[in-house]
Amino acid sequence: MEYLYYLANASLTLRIVEHLHGRPQMPLSFITVIHQIDGWVVKVKMKSPLNSQQDGDFRAFLNELGIPYEAPIRVRMALWSLEAGQSPVDVMRRYQVAIVSHGNPEREEIETFRQQFVKGLGYCPETLA
């Protein structure tokens, strides 16, 4: 069972990560977080299907934060490559996508990315708020 969503900013992305960390009963396989110039892409994959109540609740939560995402081919290829076990650095080089995290992300990974990006730019774009 997979969920692929587009989010407007880093704060919303962090809410998904925190939500999943707070629910150890969910059969989480991995989370992939990709930063794009205009927003964030989050893929959540479960080890096993959720029951209909859990699936509905989780989709409702995700729909409050973002929108279901139909990834362009470049992003789909990057996601497939990560799932196949290729290193994030190799995938970033090959597909020119900014992979912030893949696996079991911690809040600190996203915060560090955000701080480094803002420091490099000298200002905070809306997507990094």
Cα(33)–Cα(125) distance, rounded to whole angstroms?
Answer: 18
Min mean pLDDT across 21-25, 44-48, 111-115 is at 111-115
Q: Return the percentage of the chain with pLDDT > 70, whole number.
A: 90
Question: What are the sequence ranges of the domains in the chain?
Answer: 2-128
Min mean pLDDT across 59-63, 81-85, 121-125 is at 121-125
96-126: string of b/e by CB count within 10 Å (b at 16+)? ebbbbbbeebeeebbeebbeebeeeeeeeee
Tell me the pLDDT tens digit for each residue of 28-37.
999 999 999 8
Residue 60 neighbours by CB distance under 10 Å = 9
- pLDDT of 117 > 70? The answer is no
Q: Domain spanning 2-128: which CATH class is it, in words? A: alpha beta
